[in-house]
Amino acid sequence: MKHIFLSAFIVLSGALSAQELQCDVTIIPPRVMISGPEIFQIMETTIEEFINTRRWSRDDWNPKERIECTMQITVEQQINQRQFKGTLQVGSSRPVFNSNYKSPVVSLNDRDFEFTFQENTLIQWSVDQHRDNLSSVLAFYANLILAMDYDTFSLEGGTDYYVICQTIVSNAQNAPEPGWRSNERGQQNRYWLIENMVTQTFKPVRDCLYLYHRKGMDKLYTEPVAARQQIADALAALESVHRIKPSSYNMQVFFYAKGDELVKLYGPLDKKEKEPIANLCKLLDPGNIARYERMMQ
């Protein structure tokens, strides 16, 4: 099972929460507001309730197993009373065995977030149709968080949720809002994020999620040398992705989540041990070479 290393799995009764996500939602309002600030407080509460009270998977979850995640919406423009434009920053983490540390899994910034929101209206979503952009974007990232979290606990464990993400993208192809189509923002969009993730070319990324976390991070306490080698081997396998799709959005998302963690993990080691990792990270994440220079200091 997904959270095999946690305490014994508890099958929840219908009276208890079976939800998977524990999401902290933050709305940063625009400098120029057409309506009063209370609309953004209501928006924050409504979105948080939509994400946290919905059951996104078929599995039963112990409340202590819920995935801790964040969504920060920066509203850059209020077009009218109901229409908004801005960015959405999404993050999630998962616990590391035998520690209090939470390892980041998802960390990305969606720069094409346009949506409609009306007070006193529930957010509704179903997998078989695109109702509106707000519900589809939120559902897309909720399922992406689940997919990548499941991938960290078992090989290709998140497949069902990647498929749901694909369906959401497919349903939104005729939506007027950006972010859903292949020709938008130089392939740094929701379409390519999920399209890449389910192809054979990007299988090493999914394998890396499992090997990095389950065979690496989860064993750092009991087998630190072997665990760091597993992480190094998992990263090395990403070279094949880099050769075929250099600087892909998916690789950027992976290293945006993992870059600082890798610096902290390998930075204290001897130069001989950390230099190959630093050089590999520079190759795979060329936009952040300065970060990996810090690893060598």
- pLDDT tops 90 at residue 18: no
All residues at 6 or more sequence positions from 234 whose CB lies less than 8 Å from its CB, including other chains = 207, 208, 211, 212, 215, 216
Write the pLDDT tens digit of every residue in 209-242. 999 999 999 999 999 999 999 999 999 999 999 9
Give the integer Cα–Cα distance in Å for 259 and 252: 10
Number of domains in the chain: 1
What's the domain range around 280? 200-297
User: Are 231 and 258 in contact, with CB atoms under 8 Å apart?
Assistant: no
Instruction: Please count the helices (runs of H) and the strands (runs of E) in the chain.
Output: 10, 4
Segment 240-266 shows an average pLDDT of: 96
Residue 12 — φ and ψ, nearest 5°?
A: -80, 145
245, part of any domain:
yes
274, part of any domain:
yes
Neighbours of 60 (CB within 10 A): 15
What is the model's pLDDT at position 17? 45
195, part of any domain:
no
What is the model's pLDDT at position 1? 46
165, part of any domain:
no
Segment 266-292 shows an average pLDDT of: 95
Write the pLDDT tens digit of every residue in 27-55. 999 999 998 899 999 999 999 999 999 99
Kindly give the interhelix angle for 224-236 and 249-266, rounded to the nearest 10 degrees.
Answer: 150
> How big is the CA angle at 84 (ends 80 and 88), to the nearest 5 degrees?
170
Give the integer Cα–Cα distance in Å for 9 and 59: 11
Segment 259-263 shows an average pLDDT of: 97
225, part of any domain:
yes
Helix (H) or strand (E) holding 232: helix 224-236
Q: At 292, which amino acid appears?
A: Y
Between the alpha carbon of residue 101 and those of residues 104, 214, 262, 294, the distances in Å are 10, 14, 14, 22
1, part of any domain:
no
265, part of any domain:
yes
93, part of any domain:
no
Give the integer Cα–Cα distance in Å for 235 and 246: 15
Write the pLDDT tens digit of every residue in 92-129. 999 999 999 999 999 999 999 999 999 989 999 999 99
Write the pLDDT tens digit of every residue in 155-202. 999 999 999 999 999 999 999 999 999 998 888 999 999 999 999 999
- pLDDT tops 50 at residue 269: yes
- pLDDT tops 90 at residue 11: no
- pLDDT tops 70 at residue 15: no
Q: At 38, which amino acid appears?
A: E
User: What is the per-residue DSSP string for 123-175?
Assistant: ---BTTB---HHHHHHHHHHHHHHHHHHHHHSTTTTHHHHHHHHHHHHHTTT-
